[in-house]
Structure 1
Amino acid sequence: MSEDWTRLSAAIRTARKARGWTQHQLAEKAGIGFSTVQRLEGGAPFTRRPPSLDRIERALGWQLGSADAVLAGGDPEPTGSVDAAAPREAGDIGAPPAKRLPRRIEHELASGEVLDTEVLQLGNSRVRMIIVATFEPGDGDDQEAVAEDLEAWTRVQHQLRNMTPSEGNP
């Protein structure tokens, strides 16, 4: 079944206007960029689901997954609460309305066991990269196989820690 991005753009626009919000206000309430709201309301198809849709759903008071339902021809499901708070302060604009991981990450975490994590500061910026290494336990995993997995992860960790931004790219 194809995804109806025009239908989703109309649903987002209708919900935004029903709340009396501008595109800028929706972007602020969702903690995303204005251009993202413009693109979503523009109706052009995306090749993959933008992670910002979860934030749009929360800001509009839709249950998570409502955007997918609209893309498939259904309607958004209200949560009963709309993020109608005043626009965030400038320092808070990138903060999600709730501390929730994207569904793709939740799915990956649920399908395996966490082996280890790594948090990397990206240069001198305020941005951090969080890496969660997971593995799928197998039947009859022996200590040698687990040791090989840990060794491979350790090599990758060292490579990640030694990466430096290339010139011209922060």
Structure 2
Amino acid sequence: TSSLEGASVREVDALVTRRRALIAKNVEGRLGMDDILKHHRFLEGQIEELNAEKGKLARKHQIASALMRREKVGSRKHTELSDRCYKLEEAATAFNVRAVATNKERDWFRSTKAWHEGVRQTLTEYVQCSDGEHISKKQLEEDDRLFASFNFGSSLLSPDRVDAEAP
């Protein structure tokens, strides 16, 4: 029990520490797109982990509850399964603490001026590839100029350009 609560407290403290570091960098005028992107990726990674853990916890609890219903009340096996369900409920409580803290952090982060400026800059200065990577429009224009002598038939920036992987 205490180890689950301790882990939750440490993870929530880590979120608070990250937020304070971002605020300090912003106050010092050192907050950049890299910092914003790293924090965004960190939060998205945390949310992915929480979603995976949520499914595992639900499945384990469902199995333990079903097995417990099959056992005779008062039997050793019933007691063991009851203890397992109790521990899973404690784990779910710790999970909920982390989920609430992570969602609050994401909501706070997405409400900041830095986040909105980062999104605006990304939309105006970058192109997103099919694999999710962002490439600078300036870099694409430079590549287009450098490789124009190869005559690919269309600009690298043209919307009608067909990827080599497409059938």
Above 0.5 in TM-score?
no
Give the structure with the higher percent helix.
2
Rg comparison, structure with higher value: 2
Task: Between the two structures, name the one with larger relative contact order (CA 8 Å, sep ≥ 6).
Answer: 2
TM (norm. structure 2) is 0.25
Give the structure with the higher percent strand.
1
TM (norm. structure 1) is 0.25
